[in-house]
């Protein structure tokens, strides 16, 4: 059964909604600490390389498959390229489950921090006490689960509200606000005493810190941040009218997402140095432990703090919505499930998988699977394996199975000029598969 397709009202509506999926915890919670752990400047350079070399082309490929088929991922791959390719969509659905399960845990933390800014729990500049606040929250058993459940319920609520109404409206209104607050916080962070060293760390590539792992981390982060490699972008493409200039819209989304990640680095890393913390020492808690000191050092700090965590929660929500939407659409499209039932069922399963992910920071912190906590395992499986693999297969599908057909479709049969369509196809056929393949193999086996 196929669902009636609503379309994005306007070009800016589409860009904002797709950027709403892309811009989320990946940019603001994850990017700064992954960059810190992987050498700062060198990581930034390799990250940007991954975005330019693979990211943009594969975003275009995914949007195109969606737009051509006007279907959800599994059906879309089957329809445009044949039965076997639907496996790529299937892997995407599994990946969405995995990501959502740990995403809601961090989404829960942002809600908690929003409340902390109100009750004054964060009013300190001392990094030891800020670390304590974070470990007390995340190391607890029940409270993080309650927050994760609240976050999951919010996500399910938006998904039930339908495409046009819920997501588009919220994203259009709040994304620009998040951007402004980010700029203000960057301005404060880079002017803190001692921040200069952090800026240097972030902007000076030190290649002695680069290893195979840096590449794995960069490509995983690029795919995660762009919501790429699991069908989320494909689903957005299926709502995109044919007369939209797809390459231009895709470029806008990629630029926005990358800009916000880079800014988040400027917000967190200099402040981290100013607080005397080692880069890479804060792990998943970095953003949460560093930012309160920035708020504290500004007039009206609690107001900024509250607004920041509120907007971060909303940004996380729009991203999580696109994850749940991918899963729900699959059950509705493929099995004729009711939207309500599919939403409730998927949300419940994700929450259940999220329980051990949350407990990874407390009760289950000693439980290691393949040397990783459950939370880190979910993150590793999705970011470092299934997303890049999904992207690689999407590149092969559009590059080889569709080939010239893709070139015609991306230019809407000659109505839109895409002067570098040949380069795009070359990237999909050779550059992306070889590059991503190499990174995947060296990451897994060496
Ligand atoms: N791109 C989101 C972020 O950066 O937070 C995470 C994400 C959302 C990944 C949706 C994948 C996805 F399908």
Whose Cα sits closest to atom 7 in ligand 1? 227
pLDDT digits (tens, 9 = 90+) for 324-374: 999 998 999 899 999 999 999 999 999 999 999 999 999 999 999 999 999
Name the 3-class secondary structure at 365.
coil
**43 within a domain of the structure (yes/no):** yes
The alpha carbon of 297 and the centre of ligand 1 are apart by a number of angstroms equal to 31
**237 within a domain of the structure (yes/no):** yes
Q: Which pLDDT does position 162 carry in this prediction?
A: 63
**342 within a domain of the structure (yes/no):** yes
Measured CA distances, 269 to 35, 37, 266 (Å): 9, 11, 6
Q: Which pLDDT does position 165 carry in this prediction?
A: 61
Asked if residue 255 lies in contact with residue 56, where contact means CB atoms within 8 angstroms, the answer is no
Instruction: Compute the average pLDDT of residues 113-142.
Output: 91
pLDDT digits (tens, 9 = 90+) for 78-111: 999 999 999 999 999 999 999 999 999 999 999 9
- In sequence order, the 6+-apart residues with CB closer than 8 A to the CB of 378 are 98, 99, 101, 102, 353, 357
**340 within a domain of the structure (yes/no):** yes
Q: Is the CB of 156 under 6 A from ligand 1?
A: no
Bridge partners, 369 (sequence order):
372
**44 within a domain of the structure (yes/no):** yes
**18 within a domain of the structure (yes/no):** yes
The atom of ligand 1 lying closest to the CA of 96 is 13
Q: Which pLDDT does position 16 carry in this prediction?
A: 85
What are the backbone angles phi and psi of residue 279, rounded to the nearest 5°?
A: -65, 140
What total number of domains does the chain contain?
1
The alpha carbon of 371 and the centre of ligand 1 are apart by a number of angstroms equal to 25
Structure tokens of 172?
């259009």
- Please say if the pLDDT value at position 1 is more than 90: no
CATH number, residue 51: 1.10.4160.10
Structure tokens of 228?
């790429």
Whose Cα sits closest to atom 12 in ligand 1? 227
Q: Which domain holds residue 419?
A: 11-119+138-273+294-445
Asked if residue 312 lies in contact with residue 28, where contact means CB atoms within 8 angstroms, the answer is yes
Q: Is the CB of 346 under 6 A from ligand 1?
A: no
User: Is the whole model's pTM more than 0.90, yes or no?
Assistant: yes
Q: Which pLDDT does position 3 carry in this prediction?
A: 45
């Amino acid at each position: 059964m196929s669902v009636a397709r609503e379309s994005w009202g306007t070009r800016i509506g589409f860009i904002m909604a797709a950027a709403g999926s892309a811009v989320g915890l990946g940019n603001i919670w994850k990017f700064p600490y992954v960059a810190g752990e992987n050498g700062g400047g060198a990581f930034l350079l390799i990250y940007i390389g991954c975005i330019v070399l693979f990211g943009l082309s594969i975003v275009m490929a995914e949007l195109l498959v969606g737009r051509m088929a006007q279907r959800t991922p599994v059906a879309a791959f089957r329809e445009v390229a044949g039965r076997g390719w639907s496996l790529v969509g299937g892997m995407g659905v599994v990946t969405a489950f995995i990501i959502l399960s740990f995403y809601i845990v961090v989404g829960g933390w942002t809600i908690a921090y929003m409340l902390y800014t109100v009750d004054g729990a964060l009013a300190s500049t001392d990094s030891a006490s800020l670390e304590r606040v974070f470990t007390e929250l995340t190391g607890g058993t029940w409270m993080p689960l309650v927050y994760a459940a609240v976050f999951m319920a919010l996500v399910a609520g938006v998904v039930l509200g339908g495409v046009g109404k819920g997501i588009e409206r919220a994203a259009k209104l709040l994304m620009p606000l998040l951007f402004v607050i980010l700029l203000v916080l960057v301005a404060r962070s880079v002017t803190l005493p001692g921040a200069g060293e952090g800026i240097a760390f972030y902007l000076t590539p030190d290649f002695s810190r680069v290893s195979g792992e840096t590449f794995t981390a960069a490509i995983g982060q690029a795919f995660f941040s762009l919501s790429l490699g699991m069908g989320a972008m494909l689903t957005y493409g299926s709502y995109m009218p044919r007369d939209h200039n797809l390459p231009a819209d895709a470029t806008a989304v990629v630029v926005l997402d990358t800009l916000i990640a880079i800014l988040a680095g400027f917000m967190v890393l200099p402040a981290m140095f100013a607080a005397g913390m080692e880069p890479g020492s804060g792990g998943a808690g970095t953003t949460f432990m560093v930012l309160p000191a920035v708020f504290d050092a500004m007039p009206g700090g609690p107001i900024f703090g509250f607004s920041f965590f509120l907007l971060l929660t909303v940004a996380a929500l729009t991203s999580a919505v696109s994850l749940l939407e991918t899963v729900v659409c699959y059950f509705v499209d493929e099995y004729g499930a009711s939207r309500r039932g599919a939403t409730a069922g998927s949300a419940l399963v994700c929450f259940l998988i999220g329980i051990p992910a949350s407990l990874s920071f407390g009760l289950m912190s000693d439980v290691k699977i393949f040397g990783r906590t459950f939370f880190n395992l979910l993150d590793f499986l999705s970011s470092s394996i299934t997303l890049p693999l999904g992207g690689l297969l999407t590149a092969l599908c559009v590059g080889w199975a569709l080939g010239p057909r893709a070139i015609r479709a991306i230019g809407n049969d000659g109505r839109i000029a895409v002067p570098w369509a040949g380069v795009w196809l070359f990237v999909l056929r050779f550059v992306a598969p070889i590059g991503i393949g190499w990174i995947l193999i060296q990451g897994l086996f060496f």
